[in-house]
A and B are shown apart, each in its own frame.
Chain A
């Protein structure tokens, strides 16, 4: 989610940063052996399509919840956001807190019952039940296309990092990663992917947690760290979450609180966490309604602490990362002259640099294993979601509707391999033209915000008609692409998106691409909602009988079996929301 670009410039690096000792290699090999073993072990229990694509719908809330948050925790994101923290300060934390937690809680409390009761197998599947084939086709094709591309980008990034950090050959890394992930997903389907994601999640925590712990010890604690950063940066703006968001000019990111609250906190976060099938698929595997509602809430509690080992290392690097002569190291933007021609490191290298700074033989193996685990969980998430949407929503819906169940399982296994091969192709494509990586990440954001508009209206508004859903989704996506082209053509056009047509050149310059995305998402969502509402009122409503189990007001939500207060999802959602509120207040 919200992936920050990884430096294509890394490709130009000629020397590796470190090397692995035998003990590090032993840890890494053990990890590979275990993930493949899990694939073989669960193969015997993935014989039906429900077992292969939805893990038999028998995962506990804890497993589904950890997998839900782990599928998102790719190393591409870890490294990108650690770099963003170095560049923009603690503001980057918004992408983990307001940009994730409220949406996850909303999924668990409000939306999950509809996904779960409808017994849909995918998000495009829900759209088909609610809005018909047109909406499913648009969403299924765009999702399948994007997931394999994202998987390829992830794969290439992993290979690049391994080349820079360890000097590994890019082809070797691409193929070892691809074959391993394809093998365990093909063998054990979603079940194997989920078990490995939980394993990878805990390994990432174990491998990454020591950097902030040792860093805080060296900095002399949190208060000292804040003071040192204020001295280094000449202002305390880097360490405030909200107090600098009153104006585009007052913070390093060039963002306003409206963009963070409405663009990120509402549209992008809700779009990603409630409608991106890659993460929703993990929750659909839950063994009952209560588990399905609890899973995102458990995931959100873990998500809340991810900034500890992503954002904090970026902040620590501002005052602790030193070069060989003992001076503070200065990192630079990708593509800058310093990176290109003077051998300086870029922002996005901050996490590996901090890893090398603190981890010696033994722990370095664990840290590298954690990075690779992150990449692999991201790839597996994409490829398992791709195989499900391809088999159910494209092949099974339009090509071969009446095949036996075993045929769909077989198709799922083959599409895993084909999906991975397309990803490898994408990785090589990106290798040839690195700017493609940025475009792929931008492309992903075209679909997410409007999709959320369509799904949320579908779930909460009975009057939304089939035509309304289809045209709303199409118009929202088209408007997003239009705004992107508008800014690509002339960056000054951002002033219309931020509703400041007379904005000064300085203000426009300060608005970073990341902030512009927030406004584009908010507008495309609004377009989707408006078009859906207008077209729905102009067309015939869907009969009430067809809305049962799909829409609020036409569905009786069954009792989830929780009796005591601490068994109720809403209780834990309030606990998580309270902690989130307190953390934001603390870092205001």
Chain B
């Protein structure tokens, strides 16, 4: 279908998770900021988990996509008209 869904999904999680983890690292030890999340540096923890999930998705998608990039030898299905 041209776009393995795991690639955009992985990218979004890599970038958002990365931003959150970096922000968590930068603000690590700021007790006031993490008072709401029960004192846990939740940006670092959750951002890190999201980053790892994104990396797995992205690489799975890339690995699967590589063989598909070869020239397509199959005929695509004929276009279908609406069945009225």
Is the Cβ of A31 less than 8 Å from the Cβ of B33?
Answer: no
For window 37-84 of B, CB contacts with A under 8 Å fall at 37-38, 40, 42-43, 46-47, 50, 77, 79-84
Is the Cβ of A27 less than 8 Å from the Cβ of B3?
Answer: no
Is the Cβ of B1 less than 8 Å from the Cβ of A198?
Answer: no
**A199 and B8 in contact, given A362-B24, A391-B82, A405-B81 (Cβ under 8 angstroms):** yes
- Indicate whether A524 reaches chain B with its CB closer than 8 angstroms: no
For window 1-39 of B, CB contacts with A under 8 Å fall at 1-3, 5, 8-9, 11-13, 15-16, 19-20, 23-24, 27, 33-34, 36-38
Chain B residues, Cβ within 8 Å of A210: 37, 42, 46
Is the Cβ of B79 less than 8 Å from the Cβ of A405?
Answer: yes
Chain B residues, Cβ within 8 Å of A359: 36-37, 42
Number of A residues with CB within 8 Å of any CB on chain B: 53
Chain B residues, Cβ within 8 Å of A357: 36
- Indicate whether A202 reaches chain B with its CB closer than 8 angstroms: yes
CA distance A524 to B2 in the complex (A): 45
Q: A-side binding surface: helix, strand, loop or mixed?
A: helix
* Contact partner, A34, options B8, B40, B77, B84, Cβ 8 Å: B8
- Which one of A210, A362, A408 has the highest number of Cβ atoms from chain B below 10 Å of its Cβ? A362
Is the Cβ of A48 less than 8 Å from the Cβ of B79?
Answer: yes
Smallest CB gap from B15: residue in A: A30
Chain B residues, Cβ within 8 Å of A34: 8, 11-12
Is the Cβ of A42 less than 8 Å from the Cβ of B2?
Answer: yes
**A363 and B42 in contact, given A42-B2, A45-B2, A206-B50 (Cβ under 8 angstroms):** yes
CA distance A42 to B83 in the complex (A): 24
For window 1-51 of A, CB contacts with B under 8 Å fall at 23, 26-27, 30-31, 34, 37-38, 41-42, 44-45, 47-51
Chain B residues, Cβ within 8 Å of A360: 33-34, 36-37, 42-43
Smallest CB gap from A120: residue in B: B83
CA distance A41 to B8 in the complex (A): 11
* Contact partner, B5, options A26, A27, A63, A217, Cβ 8 Å: A63
Chain B residues, Cβ within 8 Å of A37: 8
Chain B residues, Cβ within 8 Å of A232: none
CA distance A191 to B40 in the complex (A): 40
- Indicate whether A58 reaches chain B with its CB closer than 8 angstroms: yes
CA distance A203 to B11 in the complex (A): 12
Chain A residues, Cβ within 8 Å of B16: 27, 30-31, 366, 369
**A195 and B84 in contact, given A27-B19, A30-B16, A357-B36 (Cβ under 8 angstroms):** no
**A48 and B80 in contact, given A359-B36, A360-B36 (Cβ under 8 angstroms):** yes
Is the Cβ of A31 less than 8 Å from the Cβ of B47?
Answer: no
- Indicate whether A401 reaches chain B with its CB closer than 8 angstroms: yes
- Could you tell me the distance in whole angstroms from the C-beta of B28 to the nearest C-beta in chain A? 12
Chain B residues, Cβ within 8 Å of A58: 1
Chain A residues, Cβ within 8 Å of B80: 48-50, 405
Chain B residues, Cβ within 8 Å of A59: 1
- Indicate whether A125 reaches chain B with its CB closer than 8 angstroms: yes
CA distance A326 to B40 in the complex (A): 21
- Which one of A38, A42, A120, A206 has the highest number of Cβ atoms from chain B below 10 Å of its Cβ? A206
Is the Cβ of A362 less than 8 Å from the Cβ of B79?
Answer: no
Is the Cβ of A363 less than 8 Å from the Cβ of B11?
Answer: no
Is the Cβ of A361 less than 8 Å from the Cβ of B1?
Answer: no
- Indicate whether A488 reaches chain B with its CB closer than 8 angstroms: no
- Could you tell me the distance in whole angstroms from the C-beta of A107 to the nearest C-beta in chain B? 21
* Contact partner, B3, options A38, A51, A217, A363, Cβ 8 Å: A38
CA distance A217 to B40 in the complex (A): 11
* Contact partner, A195, options B8, B20, B50, Cβ 8 Å: B8
Chain A residues, Cβ within 8 Å of B84: 392, 396-397, 401
For window 30-81 of A, CB contacts with B under 8 Å fall at 30-31, 34, 37-38, 41-42, 44-45, 47-51, 55-56, 58-59, 63
Is the Cβ of A23 less than 8 Å from the Cβ of B46?
Answer: no
Chain B residues, Cβ within 8 Å of A369: 16
Chain B residues, Cβ within 8 Å of A42: 1-3
CA distance A37 to B23 in the complex (A): 25
Smallest CB gap from B24: residue in A: A362
Smallest CB gap from A58: residue in B: B1
- Could you tell me the distance in whole angstroms from the C-beta of B56 to the nearest C-beta in chain A? 12
CA distance A522 to B38 in the complex (A): 47
- Indicate whether A544 reaches chain B with its CB closer than 8 angstroms: no
- Indicate whether A337 reaches chain B with its CB closer than 8 angstroms: no
CA distance A51 to B82 in the complex (A): 12
CA distance A44 to B2 in the complex (A): 9
- Could you tell me the distance in whole angstroms from the C-beta of B60 to the nearest C-beta in chain A? 12
CA distance A338 to B8 in the complex (A): 46
- Could you tell me the distance in whole angstroms from the C-beta of A360 to the nearest C-beta in chain B? 5
- Could you tell me the distance in whole angstroms from the C-beta of B37 to the nearest C-beta in chain A? 6
Interface residues of A, Cβ cutoff 8 Å to B: 23, 26-27, 30-31, 34, 37-38, 41-42, 44-45, 47-51, 55-56, 58-59, 63, 119-121, 125, 191, 195, 198-199, 202-203, 206, 210, 214, 217-218, 357-363, 366, 369, 391-392, 396-397, 401, 405, 408
Interface residues of B, Cβ cutoff 8 Å to A: 1-3, 5, 8-9, 11-13, 15-16, 19-20, 23-24, 27, 33-34, 36-38, 40, 42-43, 46-47, 50, 77, 79-84
Ordered by A's residue number, 22 sampled pairs between the chains whose C-beta atoms are within 8 Å are A23-B19, A23-B23, A30-B12, A41-B2, A42-B1, A42-B2, A47-B79, A63-B5, A121-B82, A195-B5, A210-B42, A218-B38, A359-B36, A360-B33, A360-B34, A360-B43, A362-B24, A362-B42, A362-B47, A363-B42, A363-B46, A366-B16
Q: A34-B11, A366-B20 are in contact. List 16 more A-B contacts (CB 8 A).
A: A42-B3, A49-B80, A51-B79, A55-B1, A59-B1, A199-B9, A214-B40, A360-B33, A360-B37, A361-B23, A361-B33, A362-B19, A362-B27, A362-B47, A369-B16, A408-B82
